[in-house]
Amino acid sequence: MFKKILLILSICLLFTFGVFAQDDSASSKTEPKASSSDAPKATAFRPTKDQIRKGQEILIAQKLWDGEATGVYGECRPAIKAYQKANGLDQNGKFDKATLAKMKIALTDKQMGGGSSSDSKSSSSGSSTDGPKRPAPFQATKDQITSLQAKLKEAKLFSGEANGERSDELKEAVKKYQESKSLKATGGINAATLEKMGIALTDKQKANVAAQKAYDEGKKDSKDKD
């Protein structure tokens, strides 16, 4: 009788160990594997505002674009593609590393693989430690654009509606007006054009114009010193 009891206990222990072994095996098989999506992704290249502005200036100088060098992509992407096509580059419409290099526009330390994030923020805002901060681009209000359209219609330079909306037709009309008044014919609705038309600027716009003037003078003084 005692031997039977020992035999039964031995069988029970063997069965218990077998179950534990199966559980361990199953758990090891269900452990999640590292996915390729968990791998760190390469950071997309982003040009600074100053780099975009310099690139736009080159596009304007090469007569590929007739807009303003604002440091914001805006409508200049087709012109970038035209430049890239002419120089055998990837036609992506962006100021990427290859395009900036072809234009001889310097990269920041971070873009080249060094530097800190604060350096990048400083560059992207268009400011530097050795010069004045570049002000934001001039922006006309919808009411100002509406008044401008009405005046252009009176001068028979514009046949569209005075609705405050920008268009290619409006840009051409503004350019013709600027040419007739010996202004820089960019087609952009800037402070000089509004003032020439007798359209008042807002206090914020006046401050922007003053800041731009101070910036331009500061850059000129630094060039003269060099």
- SS (HEC) of 179-216: HHCCCCCCCCCCHHHHHHCCCCCCHHHHHHHHHHHHHH
pLDDT at 220: 73
Burial of 193: CB neighbours in 10 Å, binned 0-12, 13-18, 19+: buried
Burial of 132: CB neighbours in 10 Å, binned 0-12, 13-18, 19+: middle
Using only C-alpha atoms, the chain has a radius of gyration, in whole angstroms, of 33
pLDDT at 211: 87
* C-alpha to C-alpha distance for 207 and 209, rounded to whole angstroms: 5
Predicted model pTM:
0.44
pLDDT at 172: 94
Sites in the chain below the pLDDT cut of 70: 1-4, 6, 12-42, 114-132, 221-226
pLDDT at 20: 53
pLDDT at 218: 79
Q: How many CB atoms lie within 10 A of CB 115?
A: 15
Helix, strand, or coil here: 65?
Answer: coil
Residues 101-137 pLDDT 10s = 999 999 888 888 754 444 444 444 444 445 557 788 8
pLDDT at 116: 42
Tell me which residue of 169, 201, 197, 174 sits closest to 186, measured CA to CA: 174
* C-alpha to C-alpha distance for 194 and 69, rounded to whole angstroms: 19
